[in-house]
Chains A and B, each alone.
Chain A
Amino acid sequence: NAGVTQTPKFQVLKTGQSMTLQCAQDMNHNSMYWYRQDPGMGLRLIYYSASEGTTDKGEVPNGYNVSRLNKREFSLRLESAAPSQTSVYFCASSEARGLYEKLFFGSGTQLSVL
């Protein structure tokens, strides 16, 4: 099983450029997430989708948009990249939101915005 697959692994953008990070899971999970990880800050939730057809803002949604294309896929779009968006991005999925939720992560995307 591939688990959670996200692409690309690395990306360099210029300020103002746009791009979409792709994420797909093959575990039939209902919930999907996008996190960013910065040194000393821990993982911060950008957006999540509790189930197919729904999306909600997380802790740091500004500058991002998401699309839950179907149950398997959840994409993250940067419309106009800024240097503050330089980070490592992780997609994750879980069976469902709840008290005993266990996340499965993709391998990450290292994004640099110059």
Chain B
Amino acid sequence: RKEVEQDPGPFNVPEGATVAFNCTYSNSASQSFFWYRQDCRKEPKLLMSVYSSGNEDGRFTAQLNRASQYISLLIRDSKLSDSATYLCVVISDSSYKLIFGSGTRLLVRP
């Protein structure tokens, strides 16, 4: 079993839709969680951190569910420019090892 798993997608949604992705992690000792965004043929860039209480940044909301060991990313009012691959990242507290999921691809159509 992979340490961090994501549905590869693609999620194909119309502009204005709300879409959500989950990312599951296997190590219960994981402490820190992030979402990165990667455009086609470009480098990953940090989108947002995921806090225990959940956090929101404009149209983006990230949540953590420790009991079920997953994090989620919700995007409201999708824009064409949101089309990208979304990578989740988990850091364990023992080794500070960053583990990347393989990404979920989002396509927003006009």
Point out residues on A near B: beta carbons under 8 Å.
40-45, 90, 97-108
Contacts and interface: CB of A to CB of B under 8 A. Distances in A.
Given A42-B103, A105-B43, 20 more contacts: A42-B87, A42-B100, A42-B101, A42-B102, A43-B44, A45-B97, A90-B43, A99-B32, A99-B93, A100-B32, A101-B32, A101-B96, A101-B98, A102-B46, A103-B98, A104-B46, A105-B45, A107-B42, A107-B43, A108-B41
Chain B interface extent, by class: 20 to 34
* Main secondary structure on B side of the interface with A: strand
Contacts of B44: 43, 90, 103, 105
Interface string B84-110: 000100010100111011110000000
Contact of A98 (B43, B46, B87, B96): B96
B25 interface: no
B34 A99 contact: no
Contacts of B18: none
Nearest to A42: B102
A101 B42 CA distance: 21
B81 to A, nearest CB: 19
B55 interface: no
Contact of B87 (A43, A99, A100): A43
Nearest to A110: B41
A103 B91 CA distance: 12
A107 to B, nearest CB: 5
Nearest to B43: A105
B28 interface: no
A106 B31 CA distance: 26
25 contacts: A40-B8, A40-B102, A42-B4, A42-B87, A42-B100, A43-B44, A44-B100, A45-B97, A45-B98, A90-B43, A98-B96, A99-B31, A99-B91, A99-B93, A99-B96, A100-B32, A101-B32, A101-B91, A101-B96, A101-B98, A102-B34, A102-B46, A105-B44, A106-B43, A107-B42
